Structure 1
Amino acid sequence: MDEQTALVLALQLVALFSIAGALLLYLLCKIRAGSGPESAGSTPGGGKALLVTCADNAIGLQLAVHLANRGFRVFAGLKDGASSGSSDDSVPARVIRAWQKHRESLTGLCHSALVALPLDVTREDLLHEAVDIIRAHLPAGEDGIWAVINTSGLSYRGRLEQQDIAHWDAILKTNVVGVLRTTRTFQGLLRNTSGRLINFGVADSADAGLVAYTASRYAVEGASNALRQELAPLGIKVITLHLSGVTPEMLFVTPKLNTKEERGDISVDMSGCIEYQPILLTPQSLRVVDVAVTAGAPNNCYELAPKGHWTKPINFIKSFVV
């Protein structure tokens, strides 16, 4: 074989291996993309339905979006909002609509894995309407949800002697009685799937000026312990999450869109995403939430951050523009 022929063969082999390498890289990328948050079928959620009782606040909205990205079919409660066709212009409603539109643009499907519904845990009528709405959205033959996550809550800060008793009533009505109402209303749907009830329990320490709120957290913790025993024969698991290092005011604050200061425009990055804040849970904490939601034999309680090791979360999260 002469030198020129050998050179041609070498070039052909290089081209052949380059094509094979490119095809292999393409396949690996497709596999990785298929295992990402946009692929519900292969993510931990697997299309299982769950309810986040309140997405009007920072903790609820973050969990609703995160779990939808993880492949769950999330029903998110909004006090002033309804379905995706609602005219509600609150920030949480806009974020949910943006998420729905983005998911539809990626998958071409009209139905969404993040469904807003009107829900107020202090109103019995809306709780029962929520059950009907959820059942209407479940696939044929299904009549249950995998989890209920109680994110509804109120807090008022101030010295006890200076607080209005109406504040105490509102805190206990939402934070404690609301959990009990929600549990009773959705117990049937949880029983059908041997699902789980997830509540927020006591933080690492009591805080001056939050006497009524702290009392409500201890009440939820105690109620969760008793419910764990009562619901175990029905196959329902009861889990408490302990969140340290975040004030109640931050937990239940209404999210706000990031804006460009000079014109007041919504802050949008180059990929067309809108930004909103605050986002409270770090990636580490979200991984703990994933375990609490998906584990076959979950612990009774989880620390969302080791005490004394809270990592400051980023101050915004992205959603796609409607």
Structure 2
Amino acid sequence: MKHIFDTLCETAMDENTALVLALQLVALFSIAGALLLYLLCKIRGGSSDLSDGGCPGAGKPVLVTSADNAIGLQIAVHLANRGFRVFAGLKNGASSGSSEDSPSARIIRAWQKHKESASAPGVLIALPLEVTREDLLHEAADLIRAHLPAGEDGIWAVINTSGVCYRGKLEQQDVAHWDATFKNNVVGVLRTARKFQNLLRNAGGRIITVGATEYLGTGLVAYLASRYAVEGASRALRQELAPLGIKVIAINPQGVMPELLFAAPKMSNPAEQPETSVDISGHLEFQPVVLSARALRMLDIALTTRNPKANYNLEDKQWYGCLECLKIV
């Protein structure tokens, strides 16, 4: 009798143990499933690309206000390679190929020629543009409309790459340099936002500005003042234009000297400085490089994510260290 009782107790305990283990497994799998679902939603929400098809740009029209400087030219070429329809502002426009053409104009034409042979997905169009001139801003808006596909009347983004930088101690700087700095860096952003507001609203687009960076030595009082003014203007524009569906984003190229950002591009010989030049067509290269691969990825996120942040830091101190090693800064 005692043996039978012990057997029944053991059987009951085994059943209870099995039930507890089963409940624990169900709970474990439920937690794992919920975690997996959360991660999938996080990845999808954080990197949601608005492009159609496999190409990130998918022909979306983007204006880069100045390709006359290093940051503007690099961004214009990068986005064209990514499939965007890029309109690149040049002070003298796209000339006819004379020996007096700027390096930027020659590089853009080289990219266009390379596209014809390589069937590249994007488009790169140079147009006359200077943010300090209302007539050229108006003309640029008309030219962009003329180049948009039939039935479209909007642009996806305006990237404000126009800018100047004069380094010098405050007591020694010419006041004319201060005026030029604020006219280009601050007022130019406001002029551009006003002129292209309707085109951006039609596409639910976004404005991208170059904000302030960390302290990079003396002699940059006026320049940094203008960049912090741009950040303040960006915050105000973000609130004012939000009801129109226009997003405003500030990018911060941390660690890159402003003189480098706004330096005029020049042609380079691949044998001279291969680390600091960008290959356009397999034959033609230009320098300097101002944005790292990481910075360009951050720019892509700011440009394509559904809900972009207000600010993005493009660079880090590690990349700045690399620039120092190459003696670029």
- With normalisation by structure 2, the TM-score equals 0.76
Alignment length (residue pairs): 270
CA distance in structure 2 between the aligned counterparts of 1:190 and 1:87, rounded to whole angstroms: 36
* Aligned match of 1:301: 311
CA distance in 2, matches of 1:195, 1:108: 24
Where does 1:121-270 land on structure 2 (aligned, <5 Å)?
121-205=131-215, 207-259=217-269
Instruction: Report the AA paired with residue 62 of structure 1.
Output: Q
**Which stretch shifts more, 147-156 or 272-281?**
272-281
Q: Structure 2: which amino acid aligns with 1:65?
A: V
Q: 1:106 aligns with which of 95, 106, 118?
A: 118
Out of 72, 82, 99, the position equivalent to 1:70 is: 82
More displaced stretch, 41-50 vs 141-150: 41-50
2:105 corresponds to which letter in structure 1? A
User: Greater helix share, 1 or 2?
Assistant: 2
Q: How far, CA to CA, are the matches of 2:145 and 2:99 in structure 1?
A: 23
Q: Judging changes above 3 Å, is the alpha-carbon distance between structure 1 residues 194 and 141 closer, same or farther for their aligned structure 2 residues?
A: same
In structure 2, what is the Cα distance between the partners aligned to 1:184 and 1:86? 34
TM-score (norm 1): 0.78
1:84 and 1:171, CA in 2 relative to 1: closer, same or farther beyond 3 A?
same
Kindly provide the CA deviation profile for residues 62-114 of structure 1, in whole angstroms up to 9, marking residues without a partner as x. Answer: 000000000000000000123677886110000000000010112399xx700
Counterpart in 2 of 1:286? 296
Stretch deviating more after TM superposition (130-139 or 201-210): 201-210
Q: Which moved more, 1:220-229 or 1:88-97?
A: 88-97
Secondary structure in structure 1 of the residue aligned to 2:152:
coil
From the superposition, tell whether residues 86 and 124 of structure 1 become closer, same or farther in structure 2 (CA, over 3 Å).
farther
User: What is the aligned partner in structure 2 of residue 117 from structure 1?
Assistant: 127
For 1:224, give the aligned amino acid. Answer: S
Give 1:296 deviation, angstroms. Answer: 0.7
Question: Residues 210 and 250 of structure 2 are in contact (CA less than 8 Å); yes or no, is this contact kept in structure 1?
Answer: yes
Deviation at 1:42, TM superposition (A): 2.5
**Identical aligned pairs, as a percentage?**
66
Separation in structure 1 between the aligned mates of residue 203 and residue 278 of structure 2, nearest angstrom? 40
Q: Displacement, 1:258?
A: 1.2
Change in CA separation of 1:107 and 1:220 when aligned onto 2, cut-off 3 Å:
same
Q: 1 CA distance for matches of 2:203 and 2:248?
A: 14
Aligned partners of 2:80, 2:171: CA distance in 1, in Å?
Answer: 43
Cα deviation, 1:15-61, whole Å, max 9, x if unaligned, reads: xxxxxxxxxxxxxxxxxxxxxxxxx9621101000000000000000
Uncovered stretches (5+) of structure 1, i.e. residues with no partner: 1-39, 317-322
**Is the 8 Å Cα contact of residues 52 and 149 (structure 1) preserved in structure 2?**
yes
Q: Secondary structure at the match of 2:232?
A: helix
Task: Supply the RMSD in Å over aligned alpha carbons.
Answer: 2.7
Q: CA deviation at 1:312?
A: 2.8
* Residue identity matched to 1:256: K
Secondary structure of 1:192 counterpart: helix
Question: Structure 2: where are the runs of 5+ without partners?
Answer: 1-51
The answer for the alignment partner of 1:58 in structure 2 is 70
Distance 1:133 1:258 in 2: 31
State the 1:116 CA deviation.
0.1
